[in-house]
């Protein structure tokens, strides 16, 4: 496995790793905190990217590693798979670490996301702000989500909001043409300008979730993405991946 794969996954997991004090060792493709040591390993024989976890004793000694999650490695489509794999790895580490999230007592304590500063590459917060500007009905949903989980589980949030909204609009394309144009325009713009996390959320979560059952619908909507051919290509590839990969479907449909 190329070192860039470990780098891509840990970049997508960076907020999680920082929150729980994991220190990255790129040389060994591992990261650890006071309780767990984690390795992202490539099983060449099985062509799998594996997540291995071991206990760390009070004295700092690392126990025996156990493989707790794995994904088929597809070099051609890894860019599209990375967000789902990273999300699954974070969820799996949380499960094996017994991590529980603090909750906000009141929705008024939850701040809405901010837009990107001038000259700054839009990140997940800026993308979420754009989405909530287009669909303000989800602002309270966002606050309730943060209040309940104590953090932004963005894959879950966009599956429950952006994917649902896109499917709702697709149910009557003619009547909802203007809203579809606006939604796709925002997705295309952010796909071209934003960081890697946003790029993966757009293709691997929103497009996949909205069109996985009927990829022909996406073909009809490609006209809205004339200015973003890279998103069109990525979406076509990831919809094919969804159709072929049982593991991908299982994780996405959790």
**Residue-wise pLDDT tens digits, 181-214:** 999 999 999 999 999 889 989 998 999 999 998 8
Residue 180 banded pLDDT, cuts 50, 70, 90? very high
Residue 33 banded pLDDT, cuts 50, 70, 90? very high
Joined together, the tokens standing for residue 58 give 């009070």
**Residue-wise pLDDT tens digits, 63-121:** 999 999 999 888 877 877 888 888 889 889 988 888 666 555 566 668 899 998 888 89
Determine the Cα–Cα distance for residues 208 and 84; give it in Å rounded to an integer: 11
pTM: predicted TM-score of the whole model, two decimal places? 0.67
Determine the Cα–Cα distance for residues 161 and 21; give it in Å rounded to an integer: 30
Determine the Cα–Cα distance for residues 83 and 16; give it in Å rounded to an integer: 13
Determine the Cα–Cα distance for residues 141 and 114; give it in Å rounded to an integer: 16
How far is C-alpha 21 from the geometric centre of its chain's CA atoms?
A: 20
The terminus-to-terminus CA distance of the chain in angstroms comes to 27
Determine the Cα–Cα distance for residues 134 and 125; give it in Å rounded to an integer: 15
Determine the Cα–Cα distance for residues 239 and 251; give it in Å rounded to an integer: 15
Determine the Cα–Cα distance for residues 95 and 235; give it in Å rounded to an integer: 30
DSSP for residue 23 = E
Joined together, the tokens standing for residue 246 give 């049982």
**Residue-wise pLDDT tens digits, 240-250:** 888 887 777 77
């Amino acid at each position: 496995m190329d070192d860039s794969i470990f780098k891509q996954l840990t970049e997508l997991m960076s907020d999680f790793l920082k929150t729980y004090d994991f220190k990255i060792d790129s040389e060994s493709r591992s990261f650890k905190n006071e309780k767990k040591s984690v390795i992202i390993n490539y099983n060449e024989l099985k062509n799998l990217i594996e997540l291995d976890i071991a206990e760390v004793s009070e004295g700092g000694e690392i126990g025996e590693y156990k493989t707790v999650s794995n994904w088929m490695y597809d070099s051609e489509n890894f860019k599209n798979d990375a967000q789902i794999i990273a999300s699954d790895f974070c969820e799996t580490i949380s499960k094996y670490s017994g991590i529980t999230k603090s909750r906000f007592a009141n929705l008024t304590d939850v701040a809405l996301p901010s837009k990107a500063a001038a000259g700054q590459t839009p990140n997940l917060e800026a993308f979420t702000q754009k989405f909530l500007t287009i669909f303000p009905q989800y602002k309270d949903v966002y606050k309730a989500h943060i209040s309940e989980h104590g953090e932004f589980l963005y894959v879950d949030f966009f599956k429950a909001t952006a994917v649902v909204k896109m499917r709702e609009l697709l149910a009557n394309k003619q009547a909802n043409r203007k809203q579809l144009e606006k939604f796709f325009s925002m997705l295309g713009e952010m796909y071209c300008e934003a960081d890697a996390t946003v790029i993966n959320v757009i293709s691997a979560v929103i497009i996949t979730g909205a069109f996985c059952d009927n990829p022909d619908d996406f073909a009809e909507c490609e006209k809205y993405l004339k200015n973003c051919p890279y998103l069109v290509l990525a979406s076509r590839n990831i919809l094919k991946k969804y159709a072929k990969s049982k593991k991908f479907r299982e994780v996405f449909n959790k």
